[in-house]
Homo-oligomer: A and B are copies of this chain.
């Protein structure tokens, strides 16, 4: 903690008016000075997209009393970049929290998630960062069982910081009594696409992306296992994507220099 009153950046991907971000703001208020920068519209599944082909808007809004809030026309990652550069003006916040997402971001979903991409961008900026997600997609989701754990994780992050190059992915099961927090690894899984094919009024085909979550991992040290057993999962995530174990394999390939005179 850099000073007595830590500054906390709150962001999300469901948009600034989502109930989940209100829960997160309320949970953070006792811990420090809260500043919110969030998308002006839902940005679920935008992954680590940034906006380069059109300009961005950033406008101060007054939604909740005593909270400094800005809405942004871009993606969750844009929000973090604008927050660091234009709101905090380079003086980094002590922590960045993202969510609470309406819907889980466990396992392979970390890749598609705007919530987690915002937290990852916070980590890239050198800010201890956490994404929080809850197993209920609905607008009326009851986040109350998550709140004490959200506070607990945030307090620990403010106290200990996070190992260099890492952030946290925290997911909550839908359960009256969450059994506790489990530090986990990302379960091996994928989505099996099932495109819903329809015809528009002009006879042209179009597709809605849907899918089924396919788990390929029976480990009891995974986030999927934890959630199925009513634990909240805590996965440390990194943004060095190098598959270090594969380097020696590739070094055995025939990847010789090509003599450009021969071509």
Contacts and interface: CB of A to CB of B under 8 A. Distances in A.
Interface bracket on A: 35 or more
A251 B181 CA distance: 10
How many copies of this protein are present in the complex?
2
Interface in A113-128: 117, 120, 124-125
B86 A195 contact: yes
A208 B74 CA distance: 11
Nearest to A182: B255
A118 to B, nearest CB: 12
A49 B49 contact: yes
A242 to B, nearest CB: 4
Given A55-B207, A178-B258, A242-B185, A50 B166 contact: no
Interface of A: 42, 44-53, 55-58, 77-78, 81-82, 84-86, 108, 110-112, 117, 120, 124-125, 145, 148-149, 152-153, 156, 160, 162-163, 165-166, 168, 176-181, 183, 185-186, 188, 190, 193-195, 197-198, 204-209, 234-247, 249-251, 253-258, 260, 263
